[in-house]
Amino acid sequence: MASARRTSDVLRRVFAVTDSPSPDLARTSRLRSSLWGIADQALLSIASFGVFVLLARTLTPNAFGQFTLVYTGVLLANVMQSALLTQPHNVLGAQRKGEELARYTSAAARAQVLLAGGFTLVALLVTGVSVLRGGELTQLIAASAALLPAWQLQEFLRRILYTQGRVRAAVLGDVVCYGGQLSLVITLSALGVLTGTRALLVIAVFCFIGACLGAWQSRFLLRTPINLSPLSENWVFGKWLGGAAVGAWLVTNVPLYVAGVINGPQAAGAIKAAQLLLGPLNVLLLFIATVLPIRLASALAGGGRTRLREELRVMTLLTAPIVLAYCAVTAALSTPLLRVVYGQAYERYSVLVVLWAVLVVLVYSAYVMTSVANAQQATKLTFRANAHGAAVACLVALPLTALLGAEGAILATVLGTAAVLLTLWRTVGPDGFGRPSYAAGR
């Protein structure tokens, strides 16, 4: 009986996000909301996994590598968006209600339009340069200019729904957006007309549809007069996250580009193909990145650091074994998995899968610790950790890739991520958690 009560209490803590004066009703509502959230992250991961696997099986290794390089550039814009707008909205917006939330969300939405426009302009300028130079990536870059604004607006609007706790509404939009993407890419692949450029355009079209639906779902929060003053707190919170986002992108992707330059685009494609086998864990990682900072911020507000520690411990105990088990099995079965998923084109890259498995364990740990820092608005710590990691990855990427090829590129990312984790652990770990200088690092 006591064991059952403890199990029930653990599950309640895992799925709880906020406190409520009606415990039974609130517990049921939070459980359903979190299950919907997990289902939503599963949908996103399945769609991304399916699109990339179809591209890897359809395109030549060189063409798939070119697609990977351009798509990775789009991801840089998206991580900047997340740092400057969506993550601050998830944490700061969760503390606002009613008209105050509407003013803040409207201001953030207008900032998002400006940010997306800036990224699109950069993509168009790069397209022009590529046209003048006769680059092989011109069509892909041009398609990315169409994808950038649509994807950014769709992602911003879906994260608004998460801040409000309207997870089922977000799931509906993602079914339309990501389900549509995957369905049409499958159709194009079956017809034998799938290319990297067409895949980017398909994603852009369905992101635009998803953005329109998200705008309608959030229309009551987007109708206040133009006023950007509520974003001052957003900037205080997000400025260091922006630098941290760039650092995190450099840690993961500078080695990818170095491999593409030294060994050709096919090396970048091989790295991406290996990464995809660990892709199913993105369901868990995206859930942690989206929900854990909100939950920890609520725990901190409701019960202080003691409650935050408790929430963190429960989440770690329930998620870490899943990550470790999946990574271990995938690494052990890397060769047959590559053969089954891609055929013989990438079968010789089993070492890349093993290195990615090690990397994912480190990334998971960094996600958890970053969530702790962000929940306490100690975003300067996040920036410092990712800056250290970026410095390490950039310094070792060239010599390791020149010496070991694609394997050296991933090893550079592993070392950079380890540097991120070490910096976070010194402050967030048991010996440093909650130091007075921690919160002062905003």
DSSP letter string, 79-119: HHHIIIIIHHHHHHGGG--HHHHHHHHHHHHHHHHHHHHHH
Q: Which pLDDT value is given to residue 125?
A: 94
Query: Average of pLDDT values for 87-98?
Result: 73
Q: Which two tokens stand for residue 100?
A: 């105050």
Q: How far apart are CA 434 and CA 14, in angstroms?
A: 22
pLDDT tens across 44-66, in order?
888 988 999 999 989 998 999 99
How many other C-beta atoms are found inside a 10 Å radius of the C-beta of residue 173? 24
**134 CB burial (10 A radius; 0-12, 13-18, 19+):** exposed
Q: Which pLDDT value is given to residue 230?
A: 64
Max avg pLDDT among 13-17, 109-113, 330-334: 330-334
Q: How far apart are CA 384 and CA 240, in angstroms?
A: 8
Which amino acid, one-letter code, is at 349? Y
Q: Which pLDDT value is given to residue 70?
A: 93
Q: Which pLDDT value is given to residue 229?
A: 66
Q: Which two tokens stand for residue 214?
A: 């998200």
**Percent of residues, the chain, with pLDDT higher than 90:** 33
For the chain, which residues make up each domain, given as ranges?
24-229, 235-442
Separation of CA 435 from chain center: 28
Q: Which two tokens stand for residue 42?
A: 């599963």
Q: Which pLDDT value is given to residue 98?
A: 75
Between 151 and 20, where is the model more confident?
151
Q: Collapsing DSSP states into helix, strand and coil, what is residue 442?
A: coil
DSSP state of 225: P
Separation of CA 330 from chain center: 21
Q: Collapsing DSSP states into helix, strand and coil, what is residue 383?
A: helix
Which amino acid, one-letter code, is at 203? I
Q: How far apart are CA 433 and CA 442, in angstroms?
A: 15
Query: Average of pLDDT values for 192-213?
Result: 94
DSSP state of 165: T
